[in-house]
Structure 1
């Protein structure tokens, strides 16, 4: 249907409801002349009179009544659906699908997600934890959580997590058997444990000091694709490993791992929530972001 004709039908329906061009124009926020001309155009397009006009009143003709019998319920249904959609902006109910990697889930997303669902049981929640780059548009996720550097250009990204830091660690017995590295380039002389990321490539070891950035591509003697396995291999003395600090923290505190190159490992921006720029955020999505930020505040204040 021609979009203009649908608009004309809506105006005709309002005139028939109000039984007045003036009242219809006032409710629609347009001039009386515009309403009158629209109805005349619709009648000309259809080749039939829809309204009987007199100096005192306006009433639908038989053809007009027949058209209204079909038109009025359809417009009323559309209006009701729009009201329901507007209500969704205020009420958090509905579906919320979230995707993220395991580290993000363990440290940030699950605490925030579970708290939201507990507070709003009317939300149907789904959390998908997988270490791959998910196309959230194609797979119909509302929001994903990733590091900023891994995001596509057409996504809206909102920072939600605290800064993170990567560390290079090794077991005391391994470091006692060799000369610990003093610069990133020294790493190449060591046995290294590599991590294969979601894209199938080996994660580079990135360093920065005094404004100088350096990336080292190691030749690992062992490769894993799981954070727990990475920590376990390093703790077993199989070589140096590069990982997020909070993964290593319990083992560093217990003396099972020792950090090296600490002055080359500054903090960097943490996780971002991302969603399609073509999608209007729902109330449930907004509440989820608030829950993520509250989790971040609680974590950083400890």
Structure 2
């Protein structure tokens, strides 16, 4: 760490000491919650207090510091530059305090309390929902809060305890536990579609087909990732329909609206029933499946440990 970094850290430590001497710790907790949820009302719901109490706490905190911490619009609430710096410094320590209280409480009984997990919608439907009744029966005191999002969130800054993502999307500093088997995507189309169009046999043939494309929450349109004999390519397919979720794309493909690139486990029943036909299977390799990821094994809450042990993949 250079001298500038040390000076910056000392400045923030001095700021925190000022804060702790002049305001309640609860106001800092309110600020972090608003920054993580993106709205005063959502923060109030999470904290179990009135929205007016949230607004008052933020106003008092900003007045004490002499800084504007949150930028408010009619649609969203985001940290200012100063607020982002404060959030980076204090979110981790406050989370560890929360973990400490939870550990003490849970040590006397079964795993309990809120557990926030972020994951894509596909993981919710394929990994969680089918086993959720058993999990809830075994751990009735755990309040499971599932955030369905295709955006790769920073789980520390978002206030989540863990996340579920494909293995290829995990950050190197995260601890990962396999939650599902290896997967692959398949190119499929309905018999009615192939009655009017010849089946493609090579990626270059896709240019002549109407392909149903997927747009992620970030706005990015997915490029079909194919591979054959160790040769990997990313294909920017064309088509007159864009949809945001695999389930909707699957429905459109069954209706004969075009070719789709979908997880094999999602379309397996349609393939067996003859509602969808696989093409170019040799270009569809297996890849790393879903993993549960989290920042550290240190001070892991019993509720998170229970979730990981329950949903980990077992061959």
TM range (shorter): 0.5 to 0.7
CA shift digits 1:226-253 (9 cap, x unpaired) = 2221012111211111111122222212
Match of 2:283 in 1: 264
Instruction: Give the equivalent residue in structure 2 for 1:92.
Output: 111
Structure 2 counterparts to residues 58-207 of structure 1, below 5 A: 85=104, 88=107, 91-207=110-226
SS at match of 1:128: strand
The runs of 4+ residues in structure 1 deviating greater than 4 Å are 81-84
What's the CA shift for 1:90?
8.2
Aligned CA distance change for structure 1 residues 280 and 222 (closer, same or farther; 3 Å): same
Tell me if the contact between 2:110 and 2:141 (Cα under 8 Å) persists in the aligned partners. no
What is the alpha-carbon root mean square deviation over aligned residues?
Answer: 2.5
**Separation in 2 of the partners of 1:134 and 1:113?**
23
User: Taking structure 1 as reference, are residues 84 and 157 closer, same or farther at Cα in structure 2, changes over 3 Å only?
Assistant: closer
Mapped contact 2:168–2:288 kept (Cα < 8 A): no
Equivalent-residue separation in structure 1 for 2:206 and 2:137 (angstroms): 47
Q: Is the 8 A contact 1:204 1:217 kept in 2?
A: yes
How far apart are the structure 1 equivalents of 2:298 and 2:219?
30
> Aligned-pair distance for 1:223?
0.6
Residue pair 1:90, 1:283 contacting (<8 A) in 2 also? no
Q: How many equivalent pairs are there?
A: 216
Output the CA distance in 2 between the equivalents of 1:263 and 1:220.
23
CA contact (8 A) 1:136 1:144 kept: yes
Q: What are the superposed Cα offsets for residues 263-287 of structure 1, whole Å, 9 maximum, x if unpaired?
A: 1112211001111248632222112
Equivalent residues of 1:164, 1:267 under 8 A apart? yes
State TM-score, norm by structure 1.
Answer: 0.65
SS in 1 for 2:177: strand
Q: CA deviation at 1:83?
A: 12
* 8 Å contact from structure 1 (residues 89, 283) kept in 2: no
Max radius of gyration: which structure?
1
Which structure 1 segments of 5+ residues have no match? Answer: 1-80
Query: Equivalent residue for 1:212?
Result: 231
Distance 1:255 1:143 in 2: 38
For residue 233 of structure 1, the aligned residue among 239, 252, 268 is: 252
Give TM-score scaled by structure 2 length.
0.62
Query: Displacement of 1:150 after TM fit?
Result: 2.4
Give distance in 2, aligned partners of 1:82 and 1:261: 54
The 1:144–1:262 alpha-carbon spacing in structure 2 relative to 1, beyond 3 Å, is same
Partners of 1:83 and 1:196 lie apart in 2 by: 39
Are the counterparts in 2 of residues 88 and 282 from structure 1 also a CA contact under 8 Å?
A: no
Question: Matched residues in 2 for 1:130 and 1:112: separation?
Answer: 20
* Alignment partners' CA distance in 2, 1:278 and 1:112: 24
Name the residue aligned to 2:36.
Answer: none
Which of 275, 288, 296 does residue 294 from structure 2 map onto?
A: 275
Q: Name the SS of the counterpart of 1:192 in structure 2.
A: coil
